[in-house]
């Protein structure tokens, strides 16, 4: 079997690039030559938890070119530029209950025959999970389809209505794509929180009307002034972490009978004031990854919004590295004082 380069966690503190076996193509699969791969916050959090060296690469913000297909795949896919949905659709059985309703991430019989993700020269997934990119889109755009799809999914889960006041807590990658999706999908006033000045600036460029530090007392005052004291219609929590601080803040900022959408990953159990949630009759909605809604996958909607020009996420990409410099890429992504927002690796 041919070999390829891949970036793997060394089990100590960093990434190393070494040769591993190139994945083989099954009858329903596509071999994708990775052209751009984004580093996600979940990739960084995974490294904090790992105590053993990786044997297979991670990476799920994948854009590339289909270079080989299985026997059951339409030959016209070869040569196509695609965004690959590697988390759910690319591994799903396609026949269980959740697959039949388009919830591929929740497939109860996901295949384990797909070794590794996109921090490598090549990745294999089921061909049905390769979503063609419009010719106007760059490889940078292609690797941003996945995080945008996460936020589009959250908009759908939230039942966002035109003109509603939105608060987005956090201006990391998902916080920023959530701001962009909310603006494109009809939100009214958008208020965001950001810990770093360059994140605040990017939040405003992507559609936030106001971007403040999460501890700024003007956050509550501005929201009260804008909503006549009511609070946000929807608050998107995109931070997660190890405390319930942003969950408490979501409850405080959201109006009576408003909605709170949790996108941030909490890495351990957290407590909050559920009495206030009850008394305010707030809805707590969770949102993870993507699915099909009204006949279209969130990836398709993301590609449409990017190709139409209604959302320009390329400006989020602050750093690009070749695969052989994956160690430096991850160090830059970890270090927000570097000015990093989205770091991409280009094998």
pLDDT for the residue numbered 44: 86
Q: What is the mean pLDDT of each run of 10 residues along the chain (347 residues)?
A: 93 91 96 97 81 92 98 98 97 97 96 91 98 96 98 98 98 97 98 97 98 96 96 97 94 98 92 95 97 94 97 97 97 93 96
Closest CA to 153 of 186, 182, 190, 194: 182
Q: How far apart are CA 140 and CA 61, in angstroms?
A: 10
pLDDT for the residue numbered 268: 87
Q: How far apart are CA 103 and CA 118, in angstroms?
A: 22
pLDDT for the residue numbered 293: 86
DSSP-assigned letter for residue 337: G
pLDDT for the residue numbered 267: 84
Domain ranges of the chain: 3-132+313-346, 147-286
Q: How many CB atoms lie within 10 A of CB 256?
A: 10
Residue reference for tokens 């019989």: 109
Top CATH class of 147-286 equals alpha beta
Question: pLDDT per residue over 110-167, tens digit each?
Answer: 998 888 999 999 999 999 999 999 999 999 999 999 999 999 999 999 999 999 999 9
Q: What is the SS3 assignment for 245-280?
A: HHHHHHHHHEEEEEEEEECCCECCCCCCCHHHHHHC
pLDDT for the residue numbered 166: 98
Same fold yes or no, 3-132+313-346 and 147-286: no
What percent of the chain is modeled with pLDDT above 70? 100
Question: pLDDT per residue over 181-208, tens digit each?
Answer: 999 999 999 999 999 999 999 999 999 9
CA distances (Å), origin 266, targets 167, 236, 242, 262, 278: 19, 14, 6, 10, 21
pLDDT for the residue numbered 51: 80
CA distances (Å), origin 1, targets 6, 16, 29, 117, 237: 15, 22, 17, 18, 45
Q: Does domain 3-132+313-346 have CATH number 3.40.50.920?
A: no
pLDDT for the residue numbered 112: 86
pLDDT for the residue numbered 75: 97
- Whether the CA torsion 135, 177, 47, 325 is positive or negative: it is positive
pLDDT for the residue numbered 74: 97
pLDDT for the residue numbered 346: 95
Residue 24 tokens, joined:
């083989």
Q: Which residues pair with 7 in a beta bridge?
A: 17
Residue 275 contacts by C-beta under 8 Å, 6 or more apart in sequence?
A: none
Q: How far apart are CA 118 and CA 59, in angstroms?
A: 5
pLDDT for the residue numbered 143: 98
Instruction: Determine contact, residues 153/319, Cβ cutoff 8 Å.
Output: no
Residue 103 contacts by C-beta under 8 Å, 6 or more apart in sequence?
A: 88, 291, 292
Instruction: Determine contact, residues 193/211, Cβ cutoff 8 Å.
Output: yes
Q: How far apart are CA 49 and CA 283, in angstroms?
A: 31
Residue 210 tokens, joined:
């106001």
């Amino acid at each position: 079997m041919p070999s390829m380069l891949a970036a793997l966690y060394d089990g100590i503190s960093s990434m190393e690039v070494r040769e591993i076996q190139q994945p083989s193509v099954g009858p329903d699969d596509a071999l994708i030559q990775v052209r751009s791969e984004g580093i996600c916050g979940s990739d960084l959090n995974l490294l904090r938890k790992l105590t053993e060296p990786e044997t297979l690469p991670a990476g799920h913000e994948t854009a590339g070119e289909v270079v080989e297909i299985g026997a059951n795949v339409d030959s016209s896919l070869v040569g196509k530029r695609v965004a690959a949905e590697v988390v759910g659709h690319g591994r799903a059985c396609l026949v269980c209950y959740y697959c039949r309703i388009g919830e591929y991430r929740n497939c109860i019989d996901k295949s384990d025959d797909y070794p590794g993700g996109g921090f490598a020269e090549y990745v294999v997934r089921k061909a049905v999970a390769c979503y063609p990119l419009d010719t106007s889109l760059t490889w940078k755009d292609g690797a941003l389809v996945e995080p945008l799809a996460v936020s589009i999914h959250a908009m759908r889960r939230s039942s966002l209505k035109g003109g509603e006041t939105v608060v987005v807590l956090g201006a990391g990658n998902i916080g920023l794509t959530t701001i962009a999706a909310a603006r494109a999908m009809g939100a009214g006033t958008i208020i965001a929180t950001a810990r770093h000045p360059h994140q605040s600036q990017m939040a405003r460029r992507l559609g936030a009307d106001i971007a403040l530090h999460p501890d700024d007392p003007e956050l509550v005052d501005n929201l009260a002034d804008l909503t006549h004291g009511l609070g946000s219609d929807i608050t998107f929590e995109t931070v997660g972490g190890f405390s319930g601080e942003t969950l408490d803040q979501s409850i405080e900022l959201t109006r009576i009978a408003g909605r709170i959408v949790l996108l941030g990953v909490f890495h351990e159990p957290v407590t909050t004031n559920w009495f206030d949630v009850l008394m305010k009759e707030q809805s707590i909605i969770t949102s993870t990854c993507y699915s099909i809604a009204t006949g279209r996958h969130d990836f398709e909607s993301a590609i449409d919004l990017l190709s139409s020009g209604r959302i320009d996420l390329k400006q989020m990409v602050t750093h690009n590295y070749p695969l052989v410099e994956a160690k430096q890429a991850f160090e830059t992504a970890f270090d927000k004082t570097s000015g990093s927002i989205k770091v991409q690796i280009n094998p």
